[in-house]
Structure 1
Amino acid sequence: MESRLAQFAALNQKDKATAYQSLLAEVLAQEDQSNLHAEIHTLVDNAVNQESVGLVISRGILSELVKALSEGKVRNTEQRKRIVEDTLSIVQPRIVSYEEQVNSLRFQLADILEEEEQWSDAARVLTGISLDSGQRSLPDAEKLRVYVRIVRLLLEDEDSVEAERYYNRAALLAHSTTERETLLQFKLCQARISDYSRKFLEAASRYHELSWVAEIDEEERKHMLSAAMTCAILAPAGPNRSRVLAALCRDERTAELPSFNILLKMFHDRILRPNEIKEFEGTLKPHQLAKISISSNDRLASAVADDDQANDATISTRKGPATVLDRAVMEHNLLASSKIYNNITFRGLGALLDLTPGAAETMARRMIEQRRLKGSIDQVEKLISFDVLGEEDDAQGKAGGLGDVEQVEEDTGAPFTKRWDMQIRLTAANVSRFATRPYTSIPNCEFQVETIVQHLTEKGLVSFGAVQA
């Protein structure tokens, strides 16, 4: 090999290009490839680093080598991997002159590493590809494919921080392609990033949307539906989560999945017990079981206790949720208790949530501040009063001197449907109340009633027949 390369030095540039390409083809065509790595190393090193070999010739040799590797002329995968890595290390000092060939080699090396499930190593190889400079700038659609692939590989190793950096780059280019496969992969990365960032409501909605896409394999769609259910269960309790839970419960496919019972209990605002979530906990990924810290202010508020409570063994000593799952379950149980009780003491709520009375009050206060719970707190009486049942009582049809009206309420299990029904009953009750009071006691009542009747008549919603004596 070395003697033949020495002979090439005396040839002119045209003959030298032909000689190098013939030698490369001869090396790749031999039956015994046991020494192939060493021979190609010598050939590439000579072509790249010898000053007598022009840049056009060395680029041609590298292009032929890249083509041969992509066509599988090196049969052993491990040897092909060594050749690619060795060629990249030889070319590295002069990478500016061989950007196109280096990019192709990096794509091939990433393919090999991905097959070996070395996700982070494959992502690192792809990040070294020059996308924005050099001899040939890649189009935006190709850049998007590379970024999405990097994000997907990093998420396989649960490196969500680094993955989010490249996801943000991909998001800027998402408009540049109409290729269905790339867009679906981008949306899946979007859902997984939201999942890892603990934006569980967003993740649940995106997973559920993807679970309906027919182009995705059925098994993958089932996995996405399961991920949507998990994220919905872990999401912060409140009206937004109720909408997501309702959408999932209406999906008949969820009944076949293991988490359906917990999902249904959350949808119906039923209190969850520790033994019920134990099995569900085993299905969670590490980031969904991440520890959460308690702020110094919350810790101080949770530690405040009366002297008679300080030595009470029946009061829990927990000052807050320990994990993401703990917080989701406690917030749900707090919201569920508001459907059961008109009011509850700090101590009683603490016993229900397995928290100190101060920690229970802190959690309720935060949910009320965020408008995820309707109620008020009396810190003097150490009492939390819930507003949900009070609103239902106001709409029971007790106005207008009619007394208590027995009503049969359909249990739809949907909080927003109940709220809509409640508004209708409240409006009807107010109309009944006005109808039984004299006009003189209601400012501008006659004018308002006349206006409403005229509007309904114009819409054709009411009609008046002749009155017979």
Structure 2
Amino acid sequence: MEAKLAQFASLSQKDKGPAFISLIPQILTQPSNDIQTDLHILVTTAVNQDSLVVGRQVLSEVVKVLNEGAIKDTGLLKQVVEETLQTVQPRIVSYEEQANNLRFQLADILEQEEDWDSAAKVLMGVSLESSQRTTADAEKLKLYVRIVRLLLEEENSVQAETYYNRAALLVHSSNERETLLQFKLCQARISDYSRKFLEAASRYHELSYVGEIDEEERRQMLSAAVTCGVLAPAGPNRSRVLASLYRDERTAELPSFNILSKMFLDHILRPAEIKEFESTLKTHQLAKIAISSNDKLASAGHDDGSSDEPATSTRTGPSTVLDRAVMEHNLLASSKIYNNITFKGLGALLDLTSGAAETMARKMIEQGRLRGHIDQVDKLIWFEANKEEDDAQGKAGGLGDVEEAEDTGSHFTKRWDTQIRLTAAHVESIVQHLTEKGLISLVPVTA
């Protein structure tokens, strides 16, 4: 190869480019080792020893041939592309367009090998602003979205968010459906990694309805929506998200439907159910959470052990995101069952110290996620009924606000009466069902 190139040294610049290019088909017919060596010599000679015009002609042809699949061996192709990029790198300003094309080829190979991090780094080196040409905003958006997707596959959410923010500024510039869907998926995953689980659940659920996405991928997005809904902070906003997911008929087929239904119906979750759900979570969803010094100090209080209440644990707060979500849910569920509860009783229910249980309840009340108040003298947490339910009953049938002529009892007595009515109704329904099945028979009572 060196001898042939030496023969071309005396040619004019006009003829030298076509002469070099004529050697490329001959090189590609050789054994693998010779292809790699001779292409490296050809590119080095054209780029470093000849004029810029000849170098661009030769390098453009090499890029075109490689892109058309002239080298079938992926390993050899990867080595050739990497060597060519290294050769061009010292004079990258003169060969930006050709280097960009080589980077895209190398990124495709690395992505096929599932080397997500290396593929993302290769694409980060793509030059978007050059003297040779200007890159359209739509092309920049496509590149940024691809980098974000690769970084998220590697679970590098911090760097992924940087490129996501760049993509967000350009999302208006594209009408390409595939790119916009990929951007929305990145948006959901970024929210997931950032522990903005309510936003993530809503976006995953929205994407699970898109017909252009493969059915299996839509099922995965629906499952991700349920997971994020479960991990979200307990409160009215999460209740709305869980209601939307629970009413979706497709969620009944998911393994996580059991915990979804229990959370939606405000049932207290048991350790075995939590353990089963925990095994389905990803690494970032099992991240440890730190307890602030103020919370630690507050959690240490009220543990004098002088009461007959059930013994509480020594835990001063949740240790993981799932731990916190379950504790807050069980606290919210207990407010549907009890009128009030002692600090120690709540601590036993949540597997926390009484001080930590009070701290969690206080925070949820402050944030408007739990209705109630705290009596620190008697060490009691009083739960309040949801006023929206009372208002709905008062306005039933479009009668508007109904003023009662007489107060028939206290607020808590009304709640107790309601619970008795519901229990009686459930018993009557069970008896009727058993009677229809012929399992019991009703004997008329004679006076």
Q: TM-score, normalised by structure 1?
A: 0.83
- Structure 1 residue 82, shift from structure 2 partner: 0.5
What does residue range 350-389 of structure 1 map to in structure 2 within 5 Å? 350-388=347-385
1:217-236 CA-to-partner distances (Å, cap 9, x unmatched) read 00000010000000000000
Note the aligned Cα RMSD (angstroms): 2.1
The one of 98, 103, 106 aligned to 2:95: 98
What is the match of residue 35 of structure 1? Answer: 34
What is the match of residue 133 of structure 1? Answer: 130
Q: Is residue 335 of structure 2 the alignment partner of residue 338 of structure 1?
A: yes
Q: Is residue 191 of structure 2 the alignment partner of residue 194 of structure 1?
A: yes
Identity of aligned residues (%): 68
- Structure 1 residue 133, shift from structure 2 partner: 3.2
The amino acid that maps onto 1:13 is Q
For the residues of structure 1 that align with 2:307 and 2:103, how far apart are their CA atoms?
A: 64
* Counterparts in 2 of 1:335 and 1:212: CA distance versus 1, 3 Å: same
1:432-453 CA-to-partner distances (Å, cap 9, x unmatched) read 43699xxxxxxxxxxxxxxxxx
What is the match of residue 328 of structure 1? Answer: 325
For the residues of structure 2 that align with 1:435 and 1:279, how far apart are their CA atoms?
A: 51
The amino acid that maps onto 1:194 is S
For the residues of structure 1 that align with 2:306 and 2:42, how far apart are their CA atoms?
A: 82
For the residues of structure 1 that align with 2:307 and 2:111, how far apart are their CA atoms?
A: 57
Tell whether the 8 Å contact from 1:376 to 1:384 is kept in structure 2 after alignment: yes
What is the match of residue 45 of structure 1? Answer: 44
For the residues of structure 2 that align with 1:345 and 1:80, how far apart are their CA atoms?
A: 70
What does residue range 262-281 of structure 1 map to in structure 2 within 5 Å? 262-281=259-278
Aligned residues: 407
- Structure 1 residue 422, shift from structure 2 partner: 4.0
Q: Is residue 119 of structure 2 the alignment partner of residue 122 of structure 1?
A: yes
- Structure 1 residue 23, shift from structure 2 partner: 1.4
What does residue range 382-401 of structure 1 map to in structure 2 within 5 Å? 382-388=379-385, 391=387
- What is the SS of the residue equivalent to 1:255? helix
- Structure 1 residue 307, shift from structure 2 partner: 3.5
Tell whether the 8 Å contact from 2:251 to 2:257 is kept in structure 1 after alignment: yes
- Structure 1 residue 297, shift from structure 2 partner: 0.3
For the residues of structure 1 that align with 2:231 and 2:286, how far apart are their CA atoms?
A: 10
For the residues of structure 2 that align with 1:7 and 1:420, how far apart are their CA atoms?
A: 95
Tell whether the 8 Å contact from 1:84 to 1:105 is kept in structure 2 after alignment: yes
- Structure 1 residue 314, shift from structure 2 partner: 2.3
What is the match of residue 233 of structure 1? Answer: 230
Tell whether the 8 Å contact from 2:27 to 2:34 is kept in structure 1 after alignment: no
For the residues of structure 2 that align with 1:208 and 1:310, how far apart are their CA atoms?
A: 47
The amino acid that maps onto 1:7 is Q
- Structure 1 residue 134, shift from structure 2 partner: 3.3
- What is the SS of the residue equivalent to 1:46? helix
For the residues of structure 2 that align with 1:228 and 1:90, how far apart are their CA atoms?
A: 47
What is the match of residue 18 of structure 2? Answer: 18
What is the match of residue 421 of structure 1? Answer: 392
Tell whether the 8 Å contact from 2:208 to 2:219 is kept in structure 1 after alignment: yes
For the residues of structure 2 that align with 1:86 and 1:267, how far apart are their CA atoms?
A: 58
For the residues of structure 2 that align with 1:300 and 1:267, how far apart are their CA atoms?
A: 33
* Counterparts in 2 of 1:316 and 1:17: CA distance versus 1, 3 Å: same
For the residues of structure 2 that align with 1:39 and 1:221, how far apart are their CA atoms?
A: 48
What is the match of residue 9 of structure 1? Answer: 9
Tell whether the 8 Å contact from 1:377 to 1:384 is kept in structure 2 after alignment: yes
* Counterparts in 2 of 1:247 and 1:419: CA distance versus 1, 3 Å: farther
* Counterparts in 2 of 1:22 and 1:357: CA distance versus 1, 3 Å: same
- Structure 1 residue 304, shift from structure 2 partner: 1.7
For the residues of structure 2 that align with 1:117 and 1:339, how far apart are their CA atoms?
A: 49
- Structure 1 residue 9, shift from structure 2 partner: 1.6
Tell whether the 8 Å contact from 1:333 to 1:353 is kept in structure 2 after alignment: yes
The one of 140, 161, 166 aligned to 1:164: 161
* Counterparts in 2 of 1:309 and 1:99: CA distance versus 1, 3 Å: farther
For the residues of structure 2 that align with 1:172 and 1:322, how far apart are their CA atoms?
A: 37
Q: Structure 1: any 5+ residue segments left out of the alignment?
A: 392-415, 437-469
For the residues of structure 1 that align with 2:38 and 2:391, how far apart are their CA atoms?
A: 79
For the residues of structure 1 that align with 2:191 and 2:390, how far apart are their CA atoms?
A: 30
For the residues of structure 2 that align with 1:145 and 1:312, how far apart are their CA atoms?
A: 61
Tell whether the 8 Å contact from 1:235 to 1:241 is kept in structure 2 after alignment: yes
